[in-house]
Amino acid sequence: MSTVAYITARGLFGRRRVLMLLPLPLLLIGLAVICKAYDVSPDQWGQPVVVGLGLAVVLPVISLIVGTGVLGSEVDEGTIVHILTKPLARRDIILAKLLVAAGVSAVTAAVPLFVVGALANSVRFGLALVVGAVAGAIAYSALFLLLSLLSRRPVLLGLAYILVWEGLLGRFVSGTRVLSIEQYVITIADKIAPTGMLDGKVSVPVAVVMSVIFALGGTIYAINRLGSFSVAGETS
């Protein structure tokens, strides 16, 4: 499994895709630094930057880019065949890919969120955002990795989930929030460091349980899905 993880990480950082990870975190930190430098009250910029940009855009989009990239490109290009011919359990392949996707997504999103949280409120708030971001990165990565095995358009489906389900329906239709990873992240972070910037719409138990369900369910489904691929790169 470690070999697959190493190859995945090397391939990910060797592609232009990795350059797509940098602009959003830099934008997030840049906006917070500018607001802080000009003594703008965090009451005015905290929620739009932390939630509107950090949790609603940076975290899910980075997870989407990485999560669909660790395996999706291999499926599209047919190089998945080489992996399937190796004496590796499908479970080990998926777990290695998920480990890399969640790790890269968590670090890339959590670091700028910590900086922004510390500037907007306190170090504790920054750490709360880190915990929420890690939980969200794992859940998002499992979901988007699964989508890369279910569809040839995983990025499109992922964007639909982020923009339509979480961004639109999640804000106006209360029933959809129980299936919104963004809401889990907000609730978890707000529980650790309550502030007026975060307003979770689901309870803590729901946030924790559903995060685990997304992570475990997506991983198990992905393992079963990869198991249905034949050496020819097609599903049986």
Position 169 in a domain: yes
pLDDT at 229: 67
Position 61 in a domain: yes
Q: What tokens does 115 get?
A: 């900086």
pLDDT at 33: 96
Position 232 in a domain: no
Position 234 in a domain: no
Position 236 in a domain: no
Torsions phi, psi for 229 (to 5 deg): -80, 135
pLDDT at 31: 96
pLDDT along the chain (236 residues), means of 10: 73 70 94 95 94 97 92 62 72 91 96 97 97 98 94 93 94 90 97 92 96 97 83 49
Position 79 in a domain: yes
Q: What's the rounded Cα separation, in Å, for the pair 25 and 164?
A: 22
Position 207 in a domain: yes
pLDDT at 89: 82
Domain encompassing residue 53: 3-227
Q: Could you tell me the pTM of the whole model?
A: 0.91
Q: What does the buried/exposed string (b/e) look like for 108-123 if buried means 16 or more CB atoms within 10 Å of the residue's CB? A: bbbbbbbbbbbbbbee
pLDDT at 236: 47
Position 71 in a domain: yes
Overall number of domains in the chain: 1
